[in-house]
Structure 1
Amino acid sequence: MRNSQLFFTSRRFTRRATLSLFGVGVLTTVLAACRQSPATNTAQTITPTTPSAQPTAGPSGGTLTPTASPTAVRAYRVETVVSELELGSHRVRTFTYNGQLPGPELRVREGEALRVVVDNRLPEPTTIHWHGIPVPNAMDGVPDVTQPAIAPGTQFTYEFVVPVAGTYFYHTHVGLQLDRGLYGALIVEPRQETLSYDREVTLVLDDWLDGIAGTPEDALRQLVGAGHGDHGMGQNTMPMTPGMGTMPGMGTMPGMGTMPGMAGGSPQELTPDLVYPLYLINGRSVDAPFEFAGKRGELLRLRLINAASATIFRVALVGHRLRLVQVDGQPIEPLEGDALRIGMGERYDVLVQLDNPGVWPLVAWAEGTDATALAVLRYEGSSGSLSPVTTRPSELAGELLHGLRVRSANAESAPFTPDLELPVVLSGGMGQYVWTIDGQAYPNAEPIRVKLGQRVRFRLQNMTTMPHPMHLHGHFFRVGQSPQGALRDTVLIDPMQEVTIDWVADNPGHWAFHCHHLYHQETGMMRIIEVS
C-alpha cells in the first residue's frame, strides 16, 4: 500500500528515493498594539509586557493559544523555514511553518482581528493565503495579484477582521510550495456556538512526495513531459449547452448534475494523475499514525481539512457513522452517512457519537488508489494496538456523503436572479498537460470583469475526464440554483458535469478563481476576477 515511488497515471514515469519526515516546532505569539476599537466579545486581556506566550497543545498537536490585546487582536508570528522532518522511519528536508507539519493551528474568534507577522527564512519568495476567509483584497496572499511575494529575509504582516466562523486553513500561494509543507489549520470560533459536542479534533489530510520521490518541480516536469492527453478533451470540445445540467435526467437540485454511470448520483473513483508515495493525517504516516482520544457516551466533532495538492480522499471512521453538519465552515442541514468524500481545498465538519468502545482506524483513502492515510481513535480505557489496515473498510462501500448532496441550513428567502450569467468551461489535456478555463491558460488569460454589487451566476462545465475542485477567493457562493444550495468557497466538479454557482460580487479587488488541484492550477487552470 505504501512505497517510495511517485506514480503518474500515464505509467510512463516512476521515481524512487528514500523517505522521511516529521518534526515539532513552536509558534510564537506576539502581543498586538491597539489599532482597533474593542470588540463585543473580546478575548482575555493581557498586558503587553512580553513578546511571547507558552504554547498549549491542541487536538491536532499544534494548536497555540495566542495572547490578545485589549482590542481583541489575535496576533501570531509565523516563520517559513527549511526544516528536516521525520515521517515514520524516514527523514526529509522541506519547507514548513515554524518547523512543524502541519503548521501551527491558528485560532481566532468571529469578529476579532487576526494579525500574523510572517518572517520568510526560505531561499525563495512566499505568501500566505487565508483559504475560505473573505479578506480585504490586499490580504489575500496571491503573488503579483494582491501583493508582491514576500522576499527571502523579509517580513510581511497580514491583518484583517475575521467576519465568519468555521473551519478554514492557511497555505502558501506561490508555485508548488503547497506540495511541501506550507499549510495549517485556521479555526474561527463563533461568537455563540450553535453546535453541541463534548470534544473536537482537527484532522488535516495531505499527500506527500517532497524528498521521497524527487521534488514537486520534478513531478511537474514529468507530468508535462509525459503528456496527459487522455485526461482532457482539448480545446475543440464543444461546451455543454447552458441550462442542460450536464446530462438529461440526472442531478440532485437545479444547476447540479452527475456524470453518466454514477449509480444514485455517487461519484465514481478515477485514477488520479499523481499517485503519491505517502498520505498523511496531521503530518503522520500510516506506520506512526496520529492518535486521538474519545470517551464512551461523548459526541465528538471532527474538523476535516483536505490540504492535499492532488488527492481526493474518502474518509471513514470504522465502527461509527458520520453526521455532516458544516461544509467549508458554513452550517448545513445535517446529513448522515458511512463515509465522506472530500476534495482538495474542501473542509467538512462531522459529529460522531462515541458508542462503540475500542481502538478504531480512521482512514482517508486516496481516491482511485490502493493507498490510505490513517489516524487512530482510542477510547479511554482501551488498550492494545491497531491491526494494520490492508484492505478498504466496509464503510467505504456504504452511504457516501459528498458536496453535491448537502443543503444549507440558512436558505435564501427568494430565488437568486443573476445580473450576469456566464458559462465557464473547464478543459485541458491536449497532450502537454495544459489545463484551461474558457480555453485560456493562466497567466496568459484575460481577467473576468464584474461590477461591484452584481449578482453573478457561473455555469461551470467540466469538459475533461478529471475532477476539478474549483475555489473562488474573497467570496462565498451558493451551489445550484435552489435557495437551499449550500454556501461554499470550493466545489468539486466531476468529469462531464455542470455545476452552477451563484455569488454576489461584494468584495472589491482582483480575486483568483482556480482549480485547487495544484498541478492543474500551475499549468493554467486559473483566472483573475476583477470586481470593480
Structure 2
Amino acid sequence: MKRISRRTAITGGFGAAALTLAACGNRTVPAEAGTFPPAPTLTPKAGQGLVTQTLTAAPTTVDLGGRTVSTWAYGESLPGPLIRATAGDLLRITLENRLPEASTIHWHGIRLHNAADGVPGMTQDPVEPDTSFTYEFVVPDPGTYFFHSHVGLQLDRGLYAPLIIDDPDEPGGYDAEWIVTLDDWIDGTGQTPDDVLAGLTGAGASDGGGMDHGDMPMGEGSSDGMDHGEMPMGDEPWGDAGDVAYPHFLINGRIPEAPEIFEAKPGQRVRLRLINASADTIFALALGDHDLSVTHSDGFSVEPVTAKALYLGMGERYDVAVTVKDGMFPLVARPVGKTSGGRGLAVLRTGAGEVPAADVQVRELDGEVLIGSTLEPAEAARLEDRAVDTELELAFQGSMEPYQWAINGAPFGQNTPLSIREGQRVRIIATNQTMMSHPLHVHGHTFALPSGLRKDTVMMAPMESFALDFDADNPGRWAAHCHNAYHQEVGMMTGIDYAS
C-alpha cells in the first residue's frame, strides 16, 4: 500500500518562511475596533414576515447525556436554540455577548447582505464582552442552514445552532421532520479547543491527547508525541481527514451512551435535515436497515438519489427522506479517519426493541458511501447559462509539521484577496494542494460545480480541483476559507472583494 508522509505534504511551492504565523489568536480580526459603521436598520415590507430572537452567548454547563461539561453556548443546551423562518422573511436577531472575549454570529450558507455576515474585521467590529449586536437580514433561499460564532475556535465549543428556512411552496409529503446536528466534542473534558491548537502549533504543552491522525503509525525518533509519521491511504476517499482526537462525537448534543430517540410509526415518510456543525470531522452517516433518499444539498434541491450512507463534511448540510420500518434502528455518524471517541448515535423507534449499544455497527457503512459533490442538481436549482467573465485561482496549501495552512501562498492577512466586479459570472478554480481533505466554504454566495450542483461548502479530497461558478450579485467583502476550524484559525482563509 502506498504511504504518504504528512510531514512532506505539498505546500504549493512556497517556503516555510512565507507561512510563518503570528501567535495563535483570532486571525479573523485584522482591523481595529471602530472600523465599521453601524449596520443598517431594515423595516419589514408589507406582507413580509418578521422573525425576532435574542441569543445570549455565555459560559455554561451542558449535559451531554450523563456527562456534564463546562463550555460556552447559546443558552444551556446543545445545539443552541433553533431559529426557523420562511424564505423571504426578515430576521432580526440580537447577540448578547456574556463571554470573556469578543464574539460574532455567522449565518452559514445564507445569501445575506454583507454587514450581517458576522466576520469580525471583514464585515463588522467584533462584539465585545457585555455588549450586544443586532443582525438584520432577509433570508432569500429555503433550506437547511446553521449559525455559529466566527471568532477563533468558538465553533468548537458550543456556539452553534440550526437555522431552518421553510419553502412557502414546499409540496410536503412528509409525516415527520427531524433536525440532526453532528458535532465533535472536546471542550470541558480536560482540554479546551485553544489548548488543542496550542499543542498543534507548538505554542503550548500537549500530551498528544488532543491529536488524532487516523491509523498512522508514529514515526521513528518522535520525542514530543507530535511526530505524525506516515499515513496509510485506506479505502476512504479523503486521505488524512482531521487533526484532533475528540473523546466524544455527538448527535443533537448527546453522547451515544444516552442517544436522542426519534419516534415515528412504521410506514411513515420522514425528512431528516442533516447538519455537520463539527470543527474537524468528516462523518459517514447511515440509518441501520434503511435506504436514504437524498433530496437537497446545502439547501438546494437535487435529483433524488438513493444511498445506503453518505458523507458530510464540516459545514455541509443534506436533506434525506426515509420511509421508516417497524422496530428500533440506530442512526450512526461514523467519524472518518478518527480512532478515538467512538461515533455519534441517535435512535429511530417505531416499535418494540432494545436501544442499540453505543458501539453498534451498521452494515450500511461497510459499503459504498455517497460523496455529495457527485449529486446532480434539480433543474430549478441550476444557475442561468451564461459566459464566464473572469477566472480566478484559489489554492489550499500547507503542512502538519510545522502546523501551517494557507491560501495562495500565504496565511490570511498576508495573502491577496480575490477581486471581482458586480455583474460578473465568476469562475474560481479551487485546488487542494495538500494531502489532507478540506471543506471549502464561500460566504455570501452559492456556487455551481461543473455538474450544475449548487453548494456553499464542498469537500475537497487531497489534490482534487473544482471549477466553481457563481454570479457576483452581492457586493461586499466576503470570506472564503477551509471550514476545518483549526486550519482556518492559523490562516487558511482569504477574501473575495468586489472592486469599486
User: Is the shorter-chain TM-score for this pair beyond 0.5, marking a shared fold?
Assistant: yes
Provide the residue aligned with 2:454 in structure 1: 487
Deviations 1:327-348 (A, max 9, x none): 0000000011100100000000
Q: Which moved more, 1:291-300 or 1:131-140?
A: 291-300
Highest RCO, 1 vs 2 (Cα 8 Å, sep ≥ 6): 2
Verify the 8 A CA contact 1:168 1:186 in the aligned structure 2.
yes
Deviations 1:398-433 (A, max 9, x none): 232222210110264875421111222111016221
User: What secondary structure is seen at the aligned counterpart in 2 of 1:142?
Assistant: coil
> In structure 2, what residue type is equivalent to 1:287?
E
Separation in 2 of the partners of 1:338 and 1:214? Answer: 36
Separation in 2 of the partners of 1:192 and 1:413? Answer: 20
Deviations 1:297-336 (A, max 9, x none): 1100000000000000000000100000000000000011
Verify the 8 A CA contact 2:60 2:76 in the aligned structure 1.
yes
In the TM superposition, residue 267 of structure 1 has moved relative to its aligned partner by: 2.2
Provide the residue aligned with 2:426 in structure 1: 456
Provide the residue aligned with 2:357 in structure 1: 388
1:339-378 map, 5 Å? 339-354=309-324, 356-370=325-339, 371-378=342-349
After TM superposition, the score normalised by the length of structure 2 is 0.83
> In structure 1, what residue type is equivalent to 2:46?
P
Note if 1:404 corresponds to 2:373. yes
Verify the 8 A CA contact 1:269 1:367 in the aligned structure 2.
no
1:98 aligned to which of 54, 75, 80: 75
2:416 aligned to which of 446, 461, 473: 446
Note if 1:36 corresponds to 2:13. no
Separation in 2 of the partners of 1:210 and 1:394? Answer: 31
> In structure 1, what residue type is equivalent to 2:45?
S
Separation in 2 of the partners of 1:436 and 1:339? Answer: 32
User: What secondary structure is seen at the aligned counterpart in 2 of 1:511?
Assistant: strand
Verify the 8 A CA contact 1:129 1:141 in the aligned structure 2.
yes
> In structure 1, what residue type is equivalent to 2:406?
T
Verify the 8 A CA contact 1:511 1:528 in the aligned structure 2.
yes
Deviations 1:256-310 (A, max 9, x none): xxxxx998xx725645221211000110001111111111111000000000000
Gap runs ≥5 in structure 1: 1-8, 11-32, 40-70, 232-260
Verify the 8 A CA contact 1:460 1:499 in the aligned structure 2.
yes
May I ask how many residue pairs the two structures share in their alignment? 434
User: What secondary structure is seen at the aligned counterpart in 2 of 1:520?
Assistant: helix
Deviations 1:221-272 (A, max 9, x none): 11112899x99xxxxxxxxxxxxxxxxxxxxxxxxxxxxx998xx7256452
Gap runs ≥5 in structure 2: 1-5, 8-40, 215-232
Verify the 8 A CA contact 1:336 1:401 in the aligned structure 2.
no
Verify the 8 A CA contact 1:213 1:277 in the aligned structure 2.
no
Verify the 8 A CA contact 1:416 1:502 in the aligned structure 2.
no
Report the identity percentage: 44
Separation in 1 of the partners of 2:417 and 2:102? Answer: 24
Separation in 2 of the partners of 1:188 and 1:88? Answer: 29
User: What secondary structure is seen at the aligned counterpart in 2 of 1:383?
Assistant: coil
Separation in 2 of the partners of 1:315 and 1:170? Answer: 22
Separation in 1 of the partners of 2:242 and 2:164? Answer: 30
In the TM superposition, residue 90 of structure 1 has moved relative to its aligned partner by: 2.2
Note if 1:202 corresponds to 2:179. yes
After TM superposition, the score normalised by the length of structure 1 is 0.78
Verify the 8 A CA contact 2:51 2:89 in the aligned structure 1.
yes
1:335 aligned to which of 291, 302, 305: 305
Separation in 2 of the partners of 1:129 and 1:108? Answer: 17
Q: Which moved more, 1:522-531 or 1:86-95?
A: 86-95
Verify the 8 A CA contact 1:169 1:185 in the aligned structure 2.
yes
Separation in 2 of the partners of 1:72 and 1:222? Answer: 47
Provide the residue aligned with 2:279 in structure 1: 309
Note if 1:429 corresponds to 2:406. no
Provide the residue aligned with 2:494 in structure 1: 527
In the TM superposition, residue 504 of structure 1 has moved relative to its aligned partner by: 1.0
**Measured at CA, do residues 429 and 295 of structure 1 come closer, stay the same or move farther in structure 2, by a change above 3 Å?**
same
